[in-house]
Amino acid sequence: MQAFTTMKGLVAPMDRANVDTDAIIPKQFLKSIKRTGYGPFLFDEWRYKDVGQPEMDCTHRPLHSDFVLNQDRYQGASILLARENFGCGSSREHAPWALLDYGFRCVIAPGFADIFYNNCFKNGMLPVVLDDSIMDRLFAECSANEGYALSVDLNTQTVSTPSGASFPFEVDAFRQHCLLNGLDDIDLTLQDAAAIQMYEARQKKLAPWMF
């Protein structure tokens, strides 16, 4: 997994609550058996006027010009500002894969759906939770300043604005450790293989019907 330490990037605002994973990547793209290639179809229904199909060439598809990611000033964005309950709905990891493949490494929101939040960490992507009032400020600054960029530091757990304001955020120590070092957590868990075997031996006596 790709490590995440610090980044500075152009910010795009997704100013709506409850953005679900069906919106982030519609179901027809879930038929792929790969982890990559979802970027062109990120937010497909909001981004394009026609209905996208897997593996189609997106370069000449008709665009909804007012959709935020289609605006010139947000091209190349790598940080997404979002609202409450971002990533709700299905457990599809295709959602973080699509965001990542598009170029986002960090999503900042007042709250995330649990499974989506968890899925981000497995893919070297950082979900940052900040208070509503701070989010309002970031959204306002972002829309007022073209080229608005934020710095995100996972070591110090802070988001910093161009004017020098800085906001702390919380991340579990274990998740921070894995993300900072790009660790594969299967390897980590397998270091506990003996404990798992011991657990199984005990359970087989206590609840043999489970096996």
Partner 1 sequence: MAKTLFDKVWDQHVVKTNDDGSVLLYIDRHLVHEVTSPQAFEGLRIAGRKPWNVNAAVATPDHNVPTIDRDKGIEDPVSRIQVEALDANCKEFGITEFGMDDVRQGVVHVVGPEQGLTLPGMTVVCGDSHTATHGAFGAIAMGIGTSEVEHVLATQCLIQKKPKRMRISVEGELPVGVTGKDVVLYIIAQIGTAGGTGYAIEFAGSAIRSLSMEGRMSVCNMAIEAGARCGMVAADDVTLDYVKGRPFSPKGEQWVLAEAAWHELHSDADAEFDHEIVFNAGDIVPQVSWGTSPEMVLPVTASVPSPVDARDAVQKEGWERALVYMGLEAGVAIEAIEVDKVFIGSCTNGRIEDFREAARVAAGHKMAANVKLALIVPGSGLVKKQAEDEGLDKIFIEAGFEWREPGCSMCLAMNADRLEAGERCASTSNRNFEGRQGAGGQTHLVSPAMAAAAAIKGHFVDIRDWEFKG
CB of 96 vs partner 1, minimal distance in Å = 8
137-143: list long-range contacts, CB under 8 Å, 24+ apart. 138/11, 138/81, 138/108, 139/13, 139/15, 139/81, 142/11, 142/12, 142/13, 142/81, 143/13
Among 111, 127, 148, 161, binds partner 1 (CB under 8 A): 111
Based on the shown chain and the rule CB under 8 A, indicate whether residue 156 belongs to the binding site for partner 1: no
Q: Residue 113: how many CB atoms within 10 A of its CB? A: 20
Binding-site size, partner 1 (CB under 8 A): 57
Residue 168, CA distances (Å) to 40, 82, 159 in order: 32, 17, 6
Range in contact with partner 1 (rule: CB under 8 A) among 33-41, 62-70, 141-149, 159-167? 33-41
Q: CA-to-CA distance for 164 and 66, rounded, in angstroms? A: 31
| Amino acid letter, residue 159 | V
Query: Which CB, 10 or 178, lies closer to partner 1?
Result: 178
- Candidates 38, 80, 123, 126; binder of partner 1 (CB under 8 A) is 123
Residue whose CB is less far from partner 1, 8 or 49: 49
According to the binding rule CB under 8 A, does residue 115 interact with partner 1? Answer: yes
Binding residues for partner 1 (CB under 8 A): 16-18, 20, 22-23, 26-28, 30-35, 45, 51, 54-55, 83-85, 88-93, 96, 111, 113-115, 118-119, 122-123, 172-174, 185-186, 188-190, 192-193, 195-196, 199-200, 203, 207-211
